[in-house]
Structure 1
Amino acid sequence: MLNAAEAAMDQVAEDDGERARNRAKLYAPPKGYRPPGGRRQRPAGTGMNMAQAMALTAQLSTQDAQIGRQRT
């Protein structure tokens, strides 16, 4: 439904600036809306710390090396 509204608004817009303003208005949260706690909160368990990222990189490079050996 939003895509249809966006398409209709794009057809009557005169330039790209007006299209961008219309899109921002269409997708903006309702007036007075505040997420719980007053701030946007990141879901728990998303992302990783540096040690986890380095361990994943090491694991991927090991797997990459094994695949490379299997092909030759």
Structure 2
Amino acid sequence: MTNPDKTGLKPTCREAHRLVSEGMDRELSFVERTRLRLHLMVCDGCTRFNGQMALLRTAMRRFPDEHGK
């Protein structure tokens, strides 16, 4: 018997965190983005995590690199 959360539309919090993190390194597929958005609509904790990751991403882009750029 398969876990309905693992195969259903709404991912678990663990999978949502993985998708948020992977989305920083690569473009998520349409299905991944849709599943993540569905989860974020109902999960305040993961929504906060997503916001924190976005803030870190923005801060790192503004931080000068070690090579003086």
Q: What range is the shorter-chain TM-score in?
A: 0.3 to 0.5
Which has the larger helix fraction? 2
Larger gyration radius, structure 1 or structure 2:
1
TM-score w.r.t. length of structure 2: 0.36
TM-score w.r.t. length of structure 1: 0.34
Higher relative contact order (CA 8 A, sep 6+): 2
